[in-house]
Structure 1
């Protein structure tokens, strides 16, 4: 995808204000779901273009061989999942923040992209584990005392519902572990061009057809998004007045059919173009991977950090 593609600023606005630009006078106009769709697509395209620009920077991680980054990411994620000490996991995250800084990735974006979402979803999954009927242990907070043991079918619940120390500790550990692992994955993938990332996957001996499918999906999904955006903008530019919900649903259903026809035609054209260019199932990019001294130094530093992390966990218990 062309990194110089520009998204019109008016597509990124969430809505229009009333009589006053600050919104303190008048009412904000209600944005239809069609406009919301255009806004969401435009924001997605803007984010993709932004991360492509990061991958083209001259930072530290951008200079590493993509194959080395894939191996490093696997080692770090495996290390993160095996560690049980929150302090050591926090130190690993702080080191990743340093890597993000020297790789020209905004720390604000790096933090907000992960920690505004991961604690919410992971916390919802591990919420039951903080109670004593899932994970018994030392009581921290007593919630309800039923006075006797409760039975619900084959399940038995204790007489007192409490939040246990072991449950809270395990929940915090899982949230931190998931957050650090996802942060590392985000860091390494955002600093690598997607085409190089796919080619580097061959170091894991993934099938060619799997990599080809990923490459085609990533490349042409944005083309379909552009087509969808053009359809919505063309509709809006030819419409006067408010569109009722019934008319909007009719337009969406017609657009889905039209988009399916265009995507089918596009797939046939792409297949013919690939055959005419003697495509043999192997993704070909101009960049050639080369293992350098910097890659060797990084792997050596990574191994030392991993051994220090496991050693620190043994010492701290």
Structure 2
């Protein structure tokens, strides 16, 4: 029997989606903008739900009083910004990794969320500082010898363009510092429920209008995402052929206008519903915070850690 007759025609068709993960069989097609938008929204909602689940875990940081967590976060971030030693900052980050582990936060997620993004954006910002025309110092690598000073508008470049050791060390320090501070903020906010975090900020005398705006924005984002998903799913369910780029742009522009109109009408309805339920300008959260022995021990540990960090920087110079 001919082996070719045993293979379905759809599998032999090179225009179909490849069935092999390496795409060696068939031809993969790019998804439409509708599918990409729907998948992007679904991924965002999935991540939000996942982080909410982390906040409900019974880990170490989850057991702390949100007020103490906010205070300790501010103290640790200020400490990280004032420390000028990369080794001490690295030790602080390792301590935060231990806290993430005992708080049921995946170390892979903790690392990937910060260090796959922070070095890129921070590195672009500090890239000019590694050259001698921004930060003169000891030459590390010589790049271009112009033979004379080069004037480019208000900028004056030296005769030899080099990378200085002072510039590189300063750039590394800034990248590590930003990574540590963002990691701490990510860790503390991930292990704290959003409502408790806002209440803690309000108790610590943050302006009421600031808290209300944050709360409304957080809740309203999901409503807008739900409306957007409905619009794109409805469009996709009525599309039977490949959509051209022109039609796609036309639909997106119409969808943006429609979304603004729906969001404005919805905001009026939400505000009316809040007033009918007794809203007087400040949201009420029923959770009560309690200061426990664990909170006292944590606060004492943070103070000791800060003192050790500054003492270590004085010793190491």
What TM-score do the two structures reach when normalised by structure 2? 0.92
Match of 2:305 in 1: 305
Count of residues in Structure 1 that have an aligned counterpart in Structure 2:
302
CA-to-aligned-CA distance 1:13-62 (integer Å, 9 cap, x gap): xxx97142422212111212222111111111111111011001000001
Q: Structure 2: how far apart are the matches of 1:85 and 1:285?
A: 42
| Mean Cα deviation higher: 258-267 or 60-69 | 258-267
What pairs with 1:128-207 in structure 2 (closer than 5 Å)?
128-207=128-207
CA-to-aligned-CA distance 1:56-76 (integer Å, 9 cap, x gap): 100000111111111111000
Match of 1:70 in 2: 70
| Partner SS state of residue 285, structure 2 | coil
Larger of the two Rg values belongs to structure: 2
Match of 1:5 in 2: none
Structure 1 segments (4+ residues) deviating >6 Å:
none
CA-to-aligned-CA distance 1:106-161 (integer Å, 9 cap, x gap): 00000000000111110111111111111011101111111222223443221111
Distance 1:230 1:154, change over 3 A: closer
Matched, 1:262 2:257: no
Gaps of 5+ in 1: 1-15
Match of 1:47 in 2: 47
Gaps of 5+ in 2: 1-14
Match of 2:11 in 1: none
Match of 1:57 in 2: 57
| Partner SS state of residue 140, structure 1 | strand
CA RMSD of aligned residues (A): 1.4
| Partner SS state of residue 27, structure 1 | coil
| Partner SS state of residue 286, structure 1 | coil
- Tell me, yes or no, if the aligned pair for 1:199 and 1:283 is still in contact at 8 Å: no
